[in-house]
Amino acid sequence: MKTLNRFIVLLLLVLVGAGCNSGNTKKALSHEEKMAGATRSESNGWILVHLEGTPEVIGYQHGYLLAKEIIDLRGAMAVRNEKMTKRNWDFYRDEAFRMFWRKMPAEYQGEITAIAEGVNAKLGEGSIDVKDMIAINSFLEMADYYVPWLEGQEAPKPAERCSAIAATGSWTNDGKIVMAHNNWSEYLIGARWNVIADIVPEKGHRIVMDALPGFIHSGDDFNINSAGLIVTETTISDYKGFDSTGTAEFVRARQAIQYASTIDEWVAIMKDRNNGGYANDWLIGDNKTGEIARLELGLKNQFLEKTKDGYFIGSNFPVNEKLKREETTWDSLSPVNSSYYRRLRWDVLMNENKGKITVESAKAFMGDHYDMKRKQEVPSRFTLCGHIDLDESGAAEYSWSGAFFAAGAVQSKATDGNLAANMQMWAIMGHPCGMAFDAESFLAAHPENEFQREYLIDMPARQWMLTDVPPGR
């Protein structure tokens, strides 16, 4: 009898515990429930997606809506990285996961895991995994920053990426902020940089940004958030330095735009556990105050400047002499230093346009073809709208590039205070000047690039469009 009574008591305890736990167990969402707030549309070469919900829901929506594009991008990244660094995709999968995963906040672990789940739901189980997604998201800091540091290179050559401007006060037509940016990349990758994501997370601010498929951050960093921040950047040329114990740049960039409401808050997040990966001159605007800032974020040196009446420009040159001396091998006298000549062009344009800068003039700047080295109008490596594929100078930072390297400005964005208040921007996919790139013709003229054939794609001539991502519910 005692044994029976003891069994009954234990059974009751188990049943009571099960009842308590059942109240805490979250009901698994169906595919339809996860996708209820998501949309995808396409226009002028862009894929516009609206994502909303918890990290797991946002990730699933992202992966499902962009599944084919994510798989395609993984292939292009693998080709680029192996050619550039002689290290295969497994190396990047394993090293990025080892270095970054445990340091990521749980919400981004959940989002990235769910992106893989969404891809697999669309294309079949086993199509992709979390390691792939970490390698994709850390693409910008692994090959150009981590690998040179790992190999002990004294003079690594992170690529010259992007031209950008932020202006405010007496420099703009209405005194409000104007910001614009064009993305310089190898066409192998940049022709795929065609996502505009409108993200409404469970916590933090709404974000509108351009991105590569699968990125939880923008990557080339043109962001607007609902707290009034507008952010972009250009990389620091010839930068050296990496801290493998720090937090991934892609994690900090996403945190900053999702949670910061002021310039100082944004800067604090970016500086916290900075790993030196993807070192940039960041341009930040606060639409609430009209203030703009430039944060030059090195590993050893960080410099913040602010103004409510002025401008900041970017074309991949280091600004501060101490950072330039201690953390770069940048040489303004180099005959193939595009960043120097583009800086000269920015100075001319600013002097010519003080008090007249609008979003329309910023769009024109992004497609500018005046070459300050050659003193003529010619699309080249030295113009704000870069066309390295048309220039015999090639891309000196890549040992495998040679002359007429398939890289340059691959897309552009521009906004102002009025548009940013409505979470809108102008955007053009492809060269900001509207010039087309034909992959087949390029490969025929430059057969040394045959290794790119599977993934090198056209960039047709397109027009600027005003973005408006269709909402979900």
**Could you tell me which residue, 252 or 20, shows the higher pLDDT?**
252
Taking only the tens place, the pLDDT of each residue in 349-383 is: 999 999 999 999 999 999 999 999 999 999 999 99
Q: What is the CATH number of the domain that holds 174?
A: 3.60.60.20
d(CA 236, CA 234): 7
Residue 296 counted as domain residue = yes
Structurally, how many domains does the chain consist of? Answer: 1
In this predicted structure, the answer to whether residue 13 has a pLDDT above a threshold of 70 is no
Taking only the tens place, the pLDDT of each residue in 42-55 is: 999 999 999 999 99
In this predicted structure, the answer to whether residue 23 has a pLDDT above a threshold of 60 is no
| Sequence-separated contacts (24+) of 148-152 with Cβ below 8 Å | 148/240, 148/242, 149/240, 149/241, 149/242, 149/244, 149/276
Mean pLDDT of all residues in the chain? 93
Residue type at position 362: A
Residue 230 counted as domain residue = yes
pLDDT given for residue 32 in this prediction: 97
pLDDT (mean) for 413-440: 98
Banded model confidence at residue 471, pLDDT cuts 50, 70, 90: low
Residue 370 counted as domain residue = yes
Residue 165 counted as domain residue = yes
Cβ(318)–Cβ(337) below 8 Å: no
Q: From the CB of residue 5, how many other CB atoms can be counted at a distance below 10 Å?
A: 9
Residue 276 to residues 221, 256, 282, 435: CA-CA distances in angstroms?
16, 16, 13, 35
In this predicted structure, the answer to whether residue 310 has a pLDDT above a threshold of 70 is yes
Residue 101 counted as domain residue = no
d(CA 88, CA 405): 22
Residue 389 counted as domain residue = yes
Query: What separation, in Å, do the N-terminal and C-terminal C-alpha atoms of the chain show?
Result: 61
Beta bridge partners of 450: none
Residue 192 counted as domain residue = yes
* The model's pTM: 0.93
Banded model confidence at residue 397, pLDDT cuts 50, 70, 90: low
Taking only the tens place, the pLDDT of each residue in 173-182 is: 999 999 999 9
In this predicted structure, the answer to whether residue 206 has a pLDDT above a threshold of 80 is yes
In this predicted structure, the answer to whether residue 89 has a pLDDT above a threshold of 50 is yes
**Could you tell me which residue, 157 or 164, shows the higher pLDDT?**
164
pLDDT given for residue 25 in this prediction: 58
Residue 27 counted as domain residue = no
Q: What is the dihedral of CA 407, 429, 317, 238, to 10 degrees?
A: -40
* Residue-range definition of the domain harbouring residue 350: 161-466
